[in-house]
Amino acid sequence: MKQVLVTGATGHVGYNIVQLLIAKGYRVRAGVRDVAKAGYLTALGAEAVAADILDPASLQSAVQGVDGVFQVAAVYKVTARDPQKEIIEPSIEGGLNVLRAAKAAGVRRVVFTSSVAAIGMDAGGEDRALTEEDWNTKAKNPYNYAKTAAEQAAWDFAKANDLDMVAINPSAIIGPGFFRHTPSTILFEMLLRGRLPVIMPFTLTFVDARDVAAAHVLAYEKQEASGRYICADYNTSLADLMPLCREVDPTLKVPGRMLPNFLLPTAPLFDWLGHKFTGAPRAVTSETIREMANNPIRYNSDRLRLQLGWQPRPIHDSLRDTLDWVRSNFLK
């Protein structure tokens, strides 16, 4: 089978893409910043290679001889001391560095991992789901702004340089296969530890990391794939998610109270305290509140389903496997 490079292979999406590609018989280079810490990738059968998206020389070496590149590496945090230098600039320049290396090496196709953060958080007050035609022109959160700017820069480069690129825009990613928490997964450890006293008035669209990996591989293998593909499955408020978690695990103690609107401004403070004393990734900031609170946003993934034949698994399976993964890997 052909050889491919997966950048960001130690992340939630990257690890699942590596796992799927190897299962399908591909020869996989797993791009990591520290090869010495890639044992769980080599255990899958991947070749771990140094590929820091901010180090063009390492990328030039990593892409030599590969047929395709999965550009997955990215910064996934919602706040930082210096958002411009820690989130925005690495997202934009890092993505471009990978595309430059792929173009120079004559790579056949690049599958670029973006996010629904680049699609948007506001449907303009209309009762509709956002589609690939939408762009997040009102992003306030540094992460959302970075994902939008990075994908736009990537498309500008791909079009100017005749590079075959397809973008995947996942929603909130759950499912197994992560070795450090993201803002999307920390919720489940908090649930298991009984540290979720109230529910935030958020609506999220969840998708399993294994299904995100499947979308990437479909985008690489299907010749007709082009443009952007929203990869989003189960839309639910956090209030409605709690009973689903109880159905999966009746022993869970889930919160039954919604945080009142007048207390919403205090949520970032408690999120910061949780980060400071437990090391949990920040998930709620003042920008998050402004963009997501009481906003029933939905995303339309019909293009991915109908064009490429994407079929996500049931949400109950994803929730069960996420909770089991957290128990096995984070509650020791």
Round to whole Å and give the CA distance between 31 and 50.
6
Residue 203 is given by DSSP the state E
Round to whole Å and give the CA distance between 249 and 192.
10
11 close to 73: Cβ distance less than 8 angstroms? yes
Contacts with 273 (C-beta within 8 Å, 6 or more apart), sequence order: none
Contacts made by residues 212-215, CB under 8 angstroms, sequence distance 24+: 212/13, 212/16, 212/168, 212/170, 212/173, 213/13, 213/16, 213/17, 213/19, 213/20, 214/20, 214/310, 215/168, 215/170, 215/304, 215/308, 215/310
276 tagged catalytic: no
105 close to 63: Cβ distance less than 8 angstroms? yes
Round to whole Å and give the CA distance between 119 and 134.
5
**Burial label, 68 (beta-carbon count in 10 A; 0-12, 13-18, 19+):** buried
Question: For the chain, how far is it from start to end, CA to CA, in angstroms?
Answer: 39
Which stretches of 66-195 are DSSP H helices? Answer: 83, 89-105, 142-160, 186-192
294: left (phi over 0), alpha (psi -120 to 50) or beta: left
Contacts with 89 (C-beta within 8 Å, 6 or more apart), sequence order: none
Q: Of residues 24, 138, 147, 159, which has the active-site annotation?
A: 147
Active site residues: 147
